[in-house]
Amino acid sequence: MTSGTKAETRTDEDMTTPSSEFSGGETEVREPRLTKGTWIGLAVIAVIVALVVIFGIAARHKSESTLETDTKAASIPSVNVIHPVSSVLSSGLALPGNTQAYVDTPIYARTSGYLKSWHFDIGAHVRKGQLMAVIETPELDEQLQVAQADLKSAEANLNLANTTSARYQNLLTTNSVSKQETDVAVSDAAAKKAAVDASNAAVRRLQQLQSFEKIYAPFDGIVTARNIDIGGLIQAGENLTPKELFHLAAIQKIRVFVSVPEAYSTSIKSGGKATLTLDEYPDREFEGTIARNSNAIDSATRTLNVEVDVENPKGELLPGAYVFVHFKVPQRSSNLMIPSNTLLFRAQGLQVGVVRDGRVQLVPVTISKDLGANVEVASGLTANDAVVLDPSDSLASGQEVQVKSKLSETAKQMQKKEGDQ
Q: What tens-digit pLDDT sequence spans the chain (421 residues)?
A: 444 444 444 444 444 444 444 444 444 555 566 687 787 877 888 888 888 888 878 777 777 666 665 565 556 788 888 888 877 655 678 899 999 999 999 999 888 889 999 999 999 999 999 999 999 988 888 889 999 999 999 999 999 989 988 888 888 888 888 888 888 989 988 999 999 999 999 999 988 888 888 999 999 999 999 998 999 888 887 667 788 999 999 999 999 999 998 878 888 888 999 999 998 888 899 999 999 999 999 888 889 999 999 999 998 999 999 999 999 877 655 578 888 888 988 888 889 999 988 888 999 988 877 777 888 887 888 888 889 998 888 888 888 888 887 654 434 444 444 444 4
- Rounded-to-integer distance, Cα 66 and Cα 296, Å: 65
β-partners of residue 204 are none
Cα 178 to Cα 97, 162, 167, 238, 405, distances in angstroms:
84, 18, 12, 52, 121
- Rounded-to-integer distance, Cα 222 and Cα 247, Å: 8
β-partners of residue 103 are 250
- Give the 3-state secondary structure of residue 158: helix
Provide the 8-state DSSP code for 266: G
Q: At what angle do helices 138-173 and 179-211 cross, to 10 degrees?
A: 160
Nearest to 403 by CA among 71, 67, 82, 84: 82
Instruction: Report the predicted TM-score, pTM, of the whole model to 2 decimal places.
Output: 0.53
